Structure 1
Amino acid sequence: MSSATLASLLPLPVVILIVGAAVCPLAARISARAPVVVAVLSCGGAAGVLALFAPAVLDGRLLVEYLGKWEPVRGAALGIAFAADPLGLSYALAATVVGMILAVFTLSMLGGLGRRELGGYACLFLLLDAALVGVALTADLFNLFVWFEVAALASYALTGFFLERPTALEAAFKILVLTTMASFCVFIGTGLLYASYGALNFGQLHEALRHGTDPTSLIALGLLVAGYGTKAGVVPFHGWLPDAHTAAPGPVSALFSGLMVTLGIVGIARITFQIYDQPPPVLGVLMVVALVSALVGALLSLGQDDLKRLLAYDTVSQLGVVTAGLAIGTPLGLAGATYHLLNHTLFKSLLFLCAGTVLHSTGKERLSELGGLGRRMPVVAVAFVVGIVAIAGVPPLNGYASLGLIHQGLEETHQYAALVVLTISQVVTVAALSRAAWLVFFRRRSERYPSRESARPGMVAGFAALAVLCVAFGVAPAVLLSEVMAPAAGWLLEGERYAHAVLAGGGQVGRLPLSFDYLAPATILVVVGTVVVGVLLAWRYAGGRTPRFVEPLRRLHTGSVNDYATYLVVGLIVVCAGLLLG
């Protein structure tokens, strides 16, 4: 199939998902489970179309399609462009494949709901997935904002899906307020760039900005980073994330943590490298945000008694790690960030499915009320341990290679202080998750649980699929680095070539010569050290006591949407000031 033919199919995955979303409420009239079946088929169909692009895109080609054939004239673009590069395609494939797994899981966990409820749920689920694929493929700044809004609208309703629960209503209100503020930042930042340069196309904006930036364009960059940083849930823009992840149904929590939050990371990566061509000030700002997020998220997860809230704060930490990879700004750093972003999708989705199953089966999600589930739910226990080992970076699971690449990138650029902070955050992450595993699955509990359902076949299939993917992404790092991560880093670093390709209707970039020493003694020693110290720290606080050093951070997280909105505004001001003064 020619490149032109492939490029003409770029909008099709989004179309399949949106059509599926429209069909779901109608399918509910046939049977209660029909909408979820439609969701499974829609995600599978979209993934199948995206897979057609993989051979060409991973070979270094950029596929470009202008909707309505409104192609650029003399370097000026009016039409909306879809462009498939390795980063976007990998993220879109992750969104559809993991979305299909989560939809299958939903059939088992929520299949007993009524027709109307499942019809609405499946519709919103597919709209959110369509927005993720749209973000992955668009090459237009305003269209990126549109998909941001579609994802936001779907997330409000999914967060408050069990509206009879007061926590769901409160969480939906918080995400509404904070994401609306983020949308305003994105909209104003986009408007400033359009007013200054008369362009929205990524390629055209890059051409306009490559000769230098002025205060207006830097303020626009600060607004965009704050807006997409809020969607990513990095500190200090993270206030909505723990409540939304805790209140949503299990599969939705997995979708939020595994995929929706990474929408913000993809947005920041595109703006930083493919529009602004990585101006040095923004890399420094992103590194500070990354390190604070990694450490604060890990510390807050160690002090949690609620299992889903613990995992939510760990998401803040892991996205800080991904952002650190971006902030390195080198081939190794960007390859590691892309790798860890995909890995996060897998292991965090797995952990949230485990947490949702524990709640579904026991009616409890507080660590202090749980225990002894290892014998009652062995499949869930094994899946949870696999997720922890993956996040801990233990070979042969997937986190080992991605963390190793990011650490190697920090060493290469002599950012040893940042490396120390990330290592400390990794130790605390291992401690928090190990403590949760002990309290939920392995400590003895004398009191019997009320009789509830155990994991059904569709739920077991979800655990198995994600666990297998965690292993698969870990045992073949050389292939993934060469075939996926290196091309992704290449298109991010070659901003000028990307701009030319978008405006010319396609292009090619060579593969970067990247390598990762899987058996490097220093890397293995760091892994062993972080796991041992992390487990000892988990044992120290296994009794449920909150560490004293976490208390100041917990006091800042009051639960008040006013406080979180204040943190967002202060963060925006600090980011803009850092860019202007840098």
Structure 2
Amino acid sequence: MTTLSSLLPLPVAILLAGAALAPLAIRVSRHVLTAVSVLASLASAALLVAFAPSVYGGRVLTEYLGNWKPVDGQVLGVTFGVDAWGLTFALVASAVGALLLLFLLSTNAQLGNRELGASACLFLLLDAALVGGALTADLFNLFVWFEVAALASYALTAFFLERPPALEAAFKLLVLTNVASFLIFIATALLYTEHGALNLGQLHDALVRHTGGADLVALGLLIAGFGTKAGLVPFHGWLPDAHTAAPGPISALFSGLMVNFGIATIGRLVFTVYPLAGTHVLGLLMVLGLVSALGGAVLALLQDDLKRLLAYDTISQMGVLTVGLATASGTGLAGTAYHLVNHALFKSLMFLCAGAIVHATGATNVSEMGGIARRMPWLVGAFTVGAAAIAGIPPLNGYVSLGLIHDAVLGSGQPLPYALLVLAQAITVAALGKVVLAFLRRQRNPYARDERLRLGMISALVLLAGSCLTMGIFPEWVLDNLVEPASSAMRDAPGYAHAVLSGGGRITVAEVSYRYLEPLEVALVPVTLALAVPLIWLARRYRDSDAVRRIRSVQTGSVNDYAGYLVIGLLVTVASTAVAPLLR
């Protein structure tokens, strides 16, 4: 008899099947390719939705691949275990992935059949890796999905080989991601050597009994490895180049989904596998988050290339998410879960808008985009929705998730991190505000192209903009049905461990308190908007100054420098997780 949990591998298998069929479907026709590829994503999402009533009700579904069940608490095979945290990310990856794939196939209609089929294949392969990584309860299997995602991302970044920046960006991504993969592999080997376990539940039980120095070194390696995937400073070197060089929908896939995978996995490892290793780990996450939030926002403000600006803003948003994790509170974890979904929506929307502008006009720099508002007012409207959502302006979705994170930081008695988050938010508003203002200016020179946007492209933009509004208008429903169970899954590590070792189980769902019209959060909206105005003026006034050039020079373009940043970050991370406890 088929049980619900026995269907857990199917969402991944369907995406992998879609990837295999894409090069064959294009031989029939382009319409068949679109139907096969998009339906594979939608079918995967539909199956995940079927798990939702049970999982968001507090259950953890578990499936042992090959029917290799645990014996006396020991697991030899690969386990899939889905709780509300993992299901939330998997649902977003498959549903938003379908929209991005539709946009990709519409944008690249000028490609030859072979190239179009290959792009759909690689896209689905990357999406399958993200869904598989969200559903797995095995550390080595998590490493395998990381590798699958990495391989697909190299090819997607370098897809247009005739463009030198694309090939260079893919090389930087390959170097840094391979280093990250090596760190994750070594960490996995250390944990297996110490405990003879790869199952996340079994590892949790072993680490509760004894957490040694090797285990803490492994935690530092894991944070550095997945921090590279997330683009946290100083592991971020690959991200601006890869996002800028890739086509718009691929940049949206990287920024909206792939980097989120890094944050979601760090949360899983720190809270579910390790018995919350101590305040030193939370302090490390807080520092990484604040440096990324501020550094990404400042560098975004100083950019003229639109996609590069959005890429740096992604680094900033990953920092905000990491700060939410660092609070280790129910409110902070709820805010992180909410913001993970929101970031996938509004950042995908904005990268698709950037891709649509490049497709329609050929313009890539913000300074060249005057007249866009008159020419494509609805596209400017969609971009403005995304910008307002990131800025935390009600009634859009970012207002709620940022409010939860801010409340958690203040509630934990950390006024300085709160002030730095507000400053990062104001700089972010300035960076995105200058783009909207550029759209409203008069057109100075004729555009290189005059293309119309296709129906698939328009549909994706409308659906993403509508989702940003819907997630902000109905926060109570989102909190009660999605965010509270996801937050609770992170806080009930023993429940998760028991479930993945016992063929299923339940976690305790705890309520998260939230006031939509919190006076401090409402007052923050005009404050950040007011602060953004002089910041925009300063960025324009001093854009060619020596100080600005020195700040920009941090992103040198040299893969050697980026690898150096990563190594420095690795040393700091391992020292914080393994050495700091010995000095206390």
Given residue 413 of structure 2, which amino acid in structure 1 is its aligned partner?
A: H
Number of the residue aligned with 2:460? 462
Describe the superposition over 1:423-475 as per-residue Cα deviations: whole angstroms up to 9, x where unpaired: 11000000001011212x11112322244212221111111000010011101
How big is the shift at 1:535?
A: 3.3
Describe the superposition over 1:103-130 as per-residue Cα deviations: whole angstroms up to 9, x where unpaired: 2212321122111001100000000000
Number of the residue aligned with 2:562? 564
Number of the residue aligned with 2:191? 193
Number of the residue aligned with 1:51? 49
Report the 3-state secondary structure (helix = DSSP H, G, I; strand = E; otherwise coil) of the residue aligned with 1:203. helix
Distance 1:542 1:380, change over 3 A: farther
Given residue 438 of structure 1, which amino acid in structure 2 is its aligned partner?
A: L
* Aligned mate of 1:164, from 143, 162, 165: 162
Describe the superposition over 1:465-492 as per-residue Cα deviations: whole angstroms up to 9, x where unpaired: 0001001110111111111111111111
Given residue 180 of structure 1, which amino acid in structure 2 is its aligned partner?
A: N
Distance across 2 between alignment mates of 1:270 and 1:447: 50
* Aligned mate of 2:572, from 561, 568, 574: 574
Distance across 2 between alignment mates of 1:33 and 1:547: 51
Structure 2 matches for 1:317-466, cutoff 5 A? 317-439=316-438, 441-466=439-464
How big is the shift at 1:185?
A: 0.3
Figure out how many residues of one structure are paired with residues of the other and give that number.
579
Q: Are 2:120 and 1:146 aligned?
A: no
How big is the shift at 1:86?
A: 0.8
Q: TM-score, normalised by structure 1?
A: 0.97
Distance 1:340 1:489, change over 3 A: same
Report the 3-state secondary structure (helix = DSSP H, G, I; strand = E; otherwise coil) of the residue aligned with 2:348. helix
Describe the superposition over 1:392-445 as per-residue Cα deviations: whole angstroms up to 9, x where unpaired: 001100000100000000111001111111111000000001011212x11112
* Aligned mate of 2:93, from 95, 103, 124: 95
Which range is displaced more, 219-228 or 362-371?
362-371
Distance across 1 between alignment mates of 2:161 and 2:392: 38
**Percent of matched pairs sharing the same residue:** 56
How big is the shift at 1:548?
A: 6.3
Number of the residue aligned with 1:248? 246
Q: Quick check: 2:78–2:199 contact (8 Å CA) kept in 1? A: yes
Which range is displaced more, 18-27 or 526-535?
526-535
Q: Quick check: 1:397–1:474 contact (8 Å CA) kept in 2? A: yes
User: Any gaps of 5 or more consecutive residues in structure 1?
Assistant: none
How big is the shift at 1:545?
A: 2.1
Q: Quick check: 2:363–2:447 contact (8 Å CA) kept in 1? A: no
Q: Which runs of 4+ in 1 moved over 6 A?
A: none
Distance across 2 between alignment mates of 1:311 and 1:57: 34
Q: Quick check: 1:178–1:565 contact (8 Å CA) kept in 2? A: yes
Report the 3-state secondary structure (helix = DSSP H, G, I; strand = E; otherwise coil) of the residue aligned with 1:541. helix
Distance 1:342 1:548, change over 3 A: farther
Distance 1:204 1:550, change over 3 A: farther
How big is the shift at 1:536?
A: 3.6
How big is the shift at 1:33?
A: 4.5
Given residue 367 of structure 1, which amino acid in structure 2 is its aligned partner?
A: V
Distance across 1 between alignment mates of 2:320 and 2:275: 21
Q: Quick check: 1:379–1:460 contact (8 Å CA) kept in 2? A: no
Distance across 1 between alignment mates of 2:127 and 2:60: 23
Distance across 2 between alignment mates of 1:215 and 1:522: 43
How big is the shift at 1:376?
A: 0.5
How big is the shift at 1:542?
A: 4.3
Distance across 2 between alignment mates of 1:84 and 1:249: 32
Distance 1:550 1:509, change over 3 A: farther
Report the 3-state secondary structure (helix = DSSP H, G, I; strand = E; otherwise coil) of the residue aligned with 2:80. strand
User: Any gaps of 5 or more consecutive residues in structure 2?
Assistant: none
Q: Report the aligned-residue RMSD.
A: 1.4
Structure 2 matches for 1:72-87, cutoff 5 A? 72-87=70-85
How big is the shift at 1:212?
A: 3.7
How big is the shift at 1:68?
A: 0.8
